[in-house]
């Protein structure tokens, strides 16, 4: 099945919109017009991992659940396109067993043996290419690359003599040490200013490229505290970051994983769904008459509870009644800063499989790695850009090709590009959440608050691996549990028996 999402470019076809994915659901709905009123126990808005988890948990627990999704596919900001049998990860990609919620699901769905390492340094160029200007490259071993980034990250994170352990001992409880607020309020740029004299030029370039890779933003609008949170979640080490952030992916792609949730929910016989159904408004009816969700096309659905998994940057496009609380509205209006560009390139140089590169700050794609070998025997590179030097990869493919080429000039020809423009995607308006300075301390609690019959759940305001697939599952699990507690899982016929 082909999704309307995503782009592909080859020299032969030029740029085309829409790529195949296991995540496309067909037919787009399983309910007839006359059945649309259910009655539904719960409506889940959004079929990303958060919504899928909530839907799965609720349907398994016996609730009649209606899933509304704006797109033609499941997965939200994490989905894969299988092209010629090879999976390209369009958004969220990497998972690790130190990410509790996603790993619990991976184990439960018996996919713990279905992961592959992204890095493979067993043959080929086997080096790191650092470009701090368009006219030269520095080549290093991967050991030297690790040492460079480890050194730089230790300087960046070491605000307390213990690389963050003292100021952030419980990463799920960010303000356990109240003074952590000051790091939350500090930008990347402000932190770099404090340590700039300790950093070599190579350290600084690599560090900035790495932390911008994490935030997808700019030095001035990315929160240092949010990076420390990622760092703490990763075990306060560079190696932990590499392991958790960018090392292990699904051999068959994210959408193969997402389908497990989908299929389990479908198997209960309690799931109704409507895809290609963007929501216009959510109205909590007075007098406990339920929550009414109206689609852009005017269709209306009512349930006892709504789990709204719409991302932060999109929430302001929905009308809520009664109006949302101030904290939520101000966070929605500010939005998060992640304007990451992620571009896959299939390149005709087998030896690039063991290559990694940084081209910063001059290039529109600043960080890339060899991520696989395609069925044609080419190398698959995954390349990242950020808001600091932004590119819309679909708008001028020559510019995109140039930015890919500048990562390692003269080393390859590009046979294919695959990408999703998350910034222009009206249902995402950016990539994974990354906090502005002060945003987490100011808004996190408010974002997590429910609103009458509406439970808000999204990785954007998870406590642990916020922004990650793990955080989405954390939040979907939380939302389902809230609903379970309120609607109850006791069934009368059973109560009578025991």
> Any known ligand binding at 479?
no
> Any known ligand binding at 301?
no
Among positions 165-204, residues that touch its own copies (CB under 8 A) are: 169-173
- Measured CA to CA, the distance from residue 272 to residue 424 in angstroms comes to 29
In whole angstroms, how close is the CB of 371 to its own copies at the nearest point? 17
| Beta-carbon contacts of residue 161 (< 8 Å; ≥ 6 apart) | none
Q: Cα 227 vs. chain centroid, distance in angstroms?
A: 15
In whole angstroms, how close is the CB of 428 to its own copies at the nearest point? 25
Largest CA distance in the chain: 79
Scanning 98-106, 186-194, 303-311, 439-447 for contacts with its own copies by CB under 8 A, the matching segment is: 98-106
In whole angstroms, how close is the CB of 87 to its own copies at the nearest point? 19
Structure tokens at 372: 């696989």
Q: Is there binding between residue 260 and its own copies (CB under 8 A)? A: no
In whole angstroms, how close is the CB of 324 to its own copies at the nearest point? 23
- Residue nearer to its own copies on the CB measure, 320 or 456: 456
Sign of CA dihedral 426, 346, 257, 123: negative
- Measured CA to CA, the distance from residue 325 to residue 390 in angstroms comes to 33
- Measured CA to CA, the distance from residue 220 to residue 191 in angstroms comes to 10
Please check whether residue 314 is in contact with residue 427, taking contact to mean a CB–CB distance below 8 angstroms. Answer: yes
Q: Cα 209 vs. chain centroid, distance in angstroms?
A: 19
Q: Is there binding between residue 237 and its own copies (CB under 8 A)? A: yes
Q: Is there binding between residue 271 and its own copies (CB under 8 A)? A: yes
In whole angstroms, how close is the CB of 104 to its own copies at the nearest point? 4
Q: Which residues pair with 320 in a beta bridge?
A: 282
In whole angstroms, how close is the CB of 58 to its own copies at the nearest point? 11
Strands 248-250 and 379-385, sheet pairing: unpaired
Query: Containing H/E element for 481?
Result: helix 469-487
- Residue nearer to its own copies on the CB measure, 92 or 171: 171
| The only residue of 8, 21, 23, 64 in contact with its own copies, by rule CB under 8 A | 64
- Residue nearer to its own copies on the CB measure, 326 or 494: 494
Among positions 427-466, residues that touch its own copies (CB under 8 A) are: 463-464
- Residue nearer to its own copies on the CB measure, 14 or 269: 269
Distance spanning both ends of the chain, measured CA to CA: 48
Q: Is there binding between residue 104 and its own copies (CB under 8 A)? A: yes
Q: Is there binding between residue 134 and its own copies (CB under 8 A)? A: no
Scanning 105-113, 122-130, 217-225, 343-351 for contacts with its own copies by CB under 8 A, the matching segment is: 105-113
Scanning 94-102, 132-140, 333-341, 368-376 for contacts with its own copies by CB under 8 A, the matching segment is: 94-102
The residue ranges of DSSP E strands in 311-441, in sequence order, are 319-321, 341-347, 356-359, 367-373, 379-385, 414-419
> Any known ligand binding at 388?
no
The residue ranges of DSSP E strands in 63-201, in sequence order, are 65-68, 80-83, 86-89, 115-117, 128-133, 136-140
For residue 6, is it left (φ>0), alpha (ψ between -120 and 50) or beta? left
Q: Is there binding between residue 269 and its own copies (CB under 8 A)? A: yes
- Measured CA to CA, the distance from residue 50 to residue 432 in angstroms comes to 13
Q: Is there binding between residue 295 and its own copies (CB under 8 A)? A: no
Scanning 129-137, 206-214, 351-359, 472-480 for contacts with its own copies by CB under 8 A, the matching segment is: 472-480
Scanning 305-313, 338-346, 387-395, 487-495 for contacts with its own copies by CB under 8 A, the matching segment is: 487-495
Q: How far is CA 215 from CA 144, 225, 284, 341, 388, in A?
A: 24, 11, 35, 11, 10
> Any known ligand binding at 70?
yes
In whole angstroms, how close is the CB of 66 to its own copies at the nearest point? 10
- Measured CA to CA, the distance from residue 383 to residue 367 in angstroms comes to 6
Annotated binding site for FAD: 69-70, 279
**Which residues in this chain contact its own copies in the complex, by CB under 8 A?**
30-31, 35, 59-62, 64, 97-101, 103-104, 107-108, 112-113, 115, 117, 169-173, 233, 235-237, 239-240, 243, 267-272, 463-464, 474, 477-478, 481, 484, 488-491, 494-495, 497-498
């Amino acid at each position: 099945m082909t999704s309307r999402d995503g782009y592909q470019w080859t020299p032969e076809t030029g740029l085309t919109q829409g790529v195949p994915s296991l995540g496309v659901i067909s037919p787009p709905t399983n309910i007839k017009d006359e059945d649309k009123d259910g009655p539904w126990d719960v409506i889940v808005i959004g079929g990303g991992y958060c919504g899928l988890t909530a839907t799965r948990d609720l349907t398994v627990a016996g609730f009649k659940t209606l899933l509304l999704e704006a797109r033609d596919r499941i997965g939200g900001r994490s989905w894969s396109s299988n092209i010629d049998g090879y999976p390209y990860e369009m958004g969220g990609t990497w998972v690790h067993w130190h990410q509790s919620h996603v790993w619990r699901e991976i184990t439960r769905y018996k996919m713990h043996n279905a992961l592959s390492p992204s890095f493979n340094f067993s043959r080929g160029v086997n080096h790191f290419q650092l470009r701090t200007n368009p006219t030269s490259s520095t080549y290093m071993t991967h050991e030297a690359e690790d040492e460079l980034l480890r050194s730089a990250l230790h300087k960046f994170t070491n605000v307390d003599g213990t690389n963050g352990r003292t100021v952030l001992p419980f990463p799920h409880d960010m303000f356990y040490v109240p003074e952590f607020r000051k790091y939350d309020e500090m930008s990347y740029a402000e932190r770099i200013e404090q340590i700039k004299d300790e950093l070599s030029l190579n350290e600084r370039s690599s560090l900035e490229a790495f932390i911008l890779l994490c935030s997808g933003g700019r030095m001035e609008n990315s929160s240092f505290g949010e990076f420390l949170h990622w760092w703490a979640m990763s075990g306060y080490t560079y190696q932990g970051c590499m392991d958790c952030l960018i090392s292990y992916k699904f051999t068959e792609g994210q959408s193969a994983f997402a389908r497990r949730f989908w299929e389990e929910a479908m198997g209960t016989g309690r799931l109704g769904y409507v895809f290609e159904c963007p929501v216009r408004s959510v109205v909590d009816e007075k007098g406990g008459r339920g929550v009414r969700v109206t689609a852009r096309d005017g269709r209306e659905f009512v349930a006892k509870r709504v789990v709204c998994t719409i991302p932060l940057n999109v929430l302001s496009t929905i009308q809520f009644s009664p109006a949302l609380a101030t904290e939520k509205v101000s966070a929605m209006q500010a939005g998060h800063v992640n304007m990451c560009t992620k571009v896959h390139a299939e390149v005709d140089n087998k030896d690039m499989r063991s290559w990694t590169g940084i081209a910063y700050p001059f290039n529109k794609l600043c960080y890339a790695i060899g991520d696989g070998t395609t069925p044609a025997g080419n190398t698959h590179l995954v390349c990242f850009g950020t808001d600091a030097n932004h590119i819309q990869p679909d708008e001028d493919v020559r510019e995109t090709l140039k930015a890919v080429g500048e990562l390692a000039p003269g080393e390859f020809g590009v046979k294919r590009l695959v990408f999703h423009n998350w910034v222009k995607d009206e249902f995402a308006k950016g990539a994974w959440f990354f906090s502005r300075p002060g945003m987490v301390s100011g808004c996190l609690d408010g974002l997590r608050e429910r609103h009458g019959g509406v439970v808000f759940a999204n990785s954007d305001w998870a406590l642990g691996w916020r922004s990650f697939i793990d955080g989405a599952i954390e939040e979907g699990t939380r939302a389902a549990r809230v609903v379970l507690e309120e609607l109850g899982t006791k069934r009368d016929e059973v109560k009578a028996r025991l």
